[in-house]
Structure 1
Amino acid sequence: MSTSKCCYQGFEWEGTPTGQISKLANNDVYIAGDSSASDIAILYVADMFGWTFKNNRLLADHIAREVGATVYVPDFFAGEVVDSDLLINDRWDKIDLAGFGYRHRREVREPEIFECAKALRQQYKKLGAVGYCFGGWAAFRLGGAAKLVDVISVGHPSLLTKEDIDGITVPVQVLAPEIDPVYTPELKLHTFQTVQRLGVPLDYQHFPGVVHACMVRGDERKPGERAAMIRGKNALVAWQSHFLKE
């Protein structure tokens, strides 16, 4: 897994998730919102801290409520959970990043990500995808030639390739922190130039002064990071709402 220490730094937010646990395709899933009350859904592909990480669930709750959609956060790590205590106490050296990356490499996880999207496609009128960090490449793939979703939003994507960007076919939103050795300046420029050339709607948002992963693991006590988290969430809600409700 191409990454850096910033991928697994951050903070755990306060609050209590309000969703429920169920199954999607063959995966455990956290569901935010009332699945019987909406005809639009969002597939949320989480970062390496996964579907049980409180921040991911709290963010899914916000998105579901503000978009008026049902948000699904599946377990795409085969039950493996990275202990958030390692994140909170900066014990990042205890994480077997190389082993985790190999066990959950793209070619292993892409088939089940696609299966979850196909299952939601059968149930909902419109489907969006949201991907943070690890989930960034997956969102691009879902919005590629297979066109399993109608719109994507990604925050500080990792494992993303130029080929993923070249293949996008649906409206794409990118939330890009300034300080990000994973989503490099070269990939940022390629995204900006390529999506425009393809004629696909693009919302590219630059977040100065903040680091990779701040959209999901930012410190609420830091004014700059808190502002970025709020702006990023609001931008995502507006983008997904526009294309899922049109």
Structure 2
Amino acid sequence: MASNAPSACCASGFKHEGTPVGKLETIDGVNTYIGTPSANKKADKAVLFLSDIFGLFNNNKLLVDEYANNGYLTVLPDLFREGQISTDDMDNGKINIPEWIKGYQPDNVDPIVAKTIKYMRETLGVKKIAAVGYCFGARYVSRFLKDGQIDVGYHAHPSGTTHEDLAAIQGPLSICAAEIDPVFTTQLRHESEVTLAKTGQAWQINLLSGVVHGFAVRGDPKDPHQKWAKEQAFCQAIAWFDRYL
């Protein structure tokens, strides 16, 4: 594995305050949250947002809105068909991640990603797609970063990604990592560097100190360092997309 399977740290973190301003639609039977830029200066480019295990919850929707604020039409499909981990379960610690994850393997998730890409290209008229993957979603960025599906990729504290996934990418990939992370460990990060170096693609791994797995989407906004690190992770994605998309 290039990053370990989701574990308890994937179901921890803080809820962020704010009111999402995007719209919820049903795309081929899949609930999908869409953030539309007020001034769409990148009309032929868009971001596919592949979420952590909480799916269409507030933190992710607010991040979608931020990508839209930076000029990118952004699409967040429900990868779990309403079977996501609930924030109540997170608060109560009533989560069996190894059991839950059995229902959300590539056979279940790949078709949702594929139909969302098709919708973006054929219905929305998007010519180039960047994809962001937080935790769980990162693996599916790698899996679709080839064959003209996704053009540019970004991972934040990935989970579940295999070396085969990384070795097969056919486009630029940027990764943002946490110093304290039992899922994307120091050893696995270094192994990923070796794998990526053999792909012939542009790649980048940034490491942020003093933060834990999940910080880029569920960090504590009241902690100045965590807030700063979350902002840096977002800026890394935007800079990567602006460069390669």
The normalised TM-score by structure 2 is: 0.91
Distance 1:191 1:17, change over 3 A: same
Q: Would you say 1:60 and 2:64 are equivalent positions?
A: yes
The residue number in structure 1 matching 2:137 is 135
Q: Where in structure 2 are the equivalents of 1:27-46 lying within 5 Å?
A: 27-34=30-37, 37=40, 38-46=43-51
Following the alignment from structure 1 to structure 2, what is the Cα–Cα distance between the partners of residues 43 and 208?
27
The residue number in structure 1 matching 2:165 is 164
- Equivalent pair of 1:162/1:187 in contact (CA under 8 Å): no
Between 1:218-227 and 1:76-85, the stretch displaced more is 76-85
Deviations 1:76-118 (A, max 9, x none): 101224221333x3x22x1232332111122221122122112
- Equivalent pair of 1:219/1:225 in contact (CA under 8 Å): yes
Distance 1:195 1:2, change over 3 A: closer
Distance 1:25 1:36, change over 3 A: farther
- Equivalent pair of 1:170/1:201 in contact (CA under 8 Å): yes
Q: CA deviation at 1:25?
A: 3.6
Q: Would you say 1:217 and 2:218 are equivalent positions?
A: yes
The residue number in structure 2 matching 1:228 is 229
Following the alignment from structure 1 to structure 2, what is the Cα–Cα distance between the partners of residues 118 and 186?
36
Q: CA deviation at 1:35?
A: 9.5
Structure 2 unaligned segments of length 5 or more: list them. Answer: none
Matched residues, number? 238
- Equivalent pair of 1:121/1:148 in contact (CA under 8 Å): no
Q: CA deviation at 1:71?
A: 0.4
Between 1:152-161 and 1:26-35, the stretch displaced more is 26-35
Structure 1 unaligned segments of length 5 or more: list them. Answer: none
Deviations 1:20-63 (A, max 9, x none): 01133431100011499422111101000002x10000011111
The residue number in structure 1 matching 2:126 is 124
Q: CA deviation at 1:158?
A: 0.7
- Equivalent pair of 2:37/2:69 in contact (CA under 8 Å): no
SS at match of 2:9: helix
Distance 1:103 1:57, change over 3 A: same
Following the alignment from structure 1 to structure 2, what is the Cα–Cα distance between the partners of residues 20 and 171?
29
Q: Amino acid of the residue matched to residue 65 of structure 1?
A: N
Q: Where in structure 2 are the equivalents of 1:1-246 lying within 5 Å?
A: 2-34=5-37, 37=40, 38-51=43-56, 53-66=57-70, 68-87=71-90, 89=91, 91-92=92-93, 94-122=94-122, 123-144=125-146, 146-244=147-245
Between the aligned residues of both structures, percent identity stands at: 33
Following the alignment from structure 1 to structure 2, what is the Cα–Cα distance between the partners of residues 49 and 55?
9
Q: CA deviation at 1:224?
A: 2.0
Following the alignment from structure 1 to structure 2, what is the Cα–Cα distance between the partners of residues 141 and 2?
15
What is the RMSD of the two structures over their aligned residues, measured on CA atoms?
A: 1.8
